[in-house]
Amino acid sequence: MINLDKTRVILNEAARLVELTATFQARYGKNYVMHMGTPQDALDLNECILDSQAIIANLIEPEIKVTPHYRYGKWWERSQVMTNCTAQQLMTEACRLMSAVAHFEAKHQQGKATWDHAITTTQSAIAGMLHPSTLQVVTNPEDTHPEMDHHIHLSAS
């Protein structure tokens, strides 16, 4: 079940995606196409963008990942790399999720909690913004803590 701790990591990774996608777009443009001569830096940044999405996917409830909601369309059909605009939309959804989970947990402590549908729909919207390959590379978030092992230095190559 999603909780505030997991939601904080999702929010942190969403912010990281905003940073990574902005860096990628600044260096290579919005609609960069990967090819045989793609610089290693571009490949590394794209890998970090995908890794960050996988961390988020690991924290979303498993049953929600089966049927994600594509509220913002399927960006991977238009672009090879997540755009900064999509990352910003994901950040907005992560903030919505934080608000809904905080509300639910506060009500739960008062013994007045009922499951908030917004928690489910917001997770579904977040899942719909993640590259499909990241939804498939999912481990049990109770057993691993990938967010602790994941760092990148954004220095120019």
Locus of tokens 């899942």:
127
Locus of tokens 């290579």:
28
In sequence order, the 6+-apart residues with CB closer than 8 A to the CB of 115 are 104
pTM above 0.85, yes or no: no
What token pair was written down for 119? 């928690």
User: Which residue type is seen at 39?
Assistant: P
Position 109 scores a pLDDT of 76
User: How many residues in the chain?
Assistant: 157
DSSP assignment of 5-51: HHHHHHHHHHHHHHHHHHHHHHHH-TT----TT--HHHHHHHHHHHH
pLDDT, one tens digit for every residue, the chain (157 residues): 899 999 999 999 999 999 999 999 999 999 899 999 999 999 999 999 999 999 999 999 999 999 899 998 999 999 999 999 999 999 999 999 999 999 999 987 777 767 788 999 999 999 999 999 999 854 444 444 444 344 333 433 3
Position 156 scores a pLDDT of 38
Task: Please report, for the chain, the start and end positions of each structural domain, with discontinuous segments joined by +.
Answer: 4-139
Position 116 scores a pLDDT of 80
**Burial code of 131-140, b = ≥16 C-beta within 10 A, e = fewer?**
beebbeeeee
Position 148 scores a pLDDT of 37
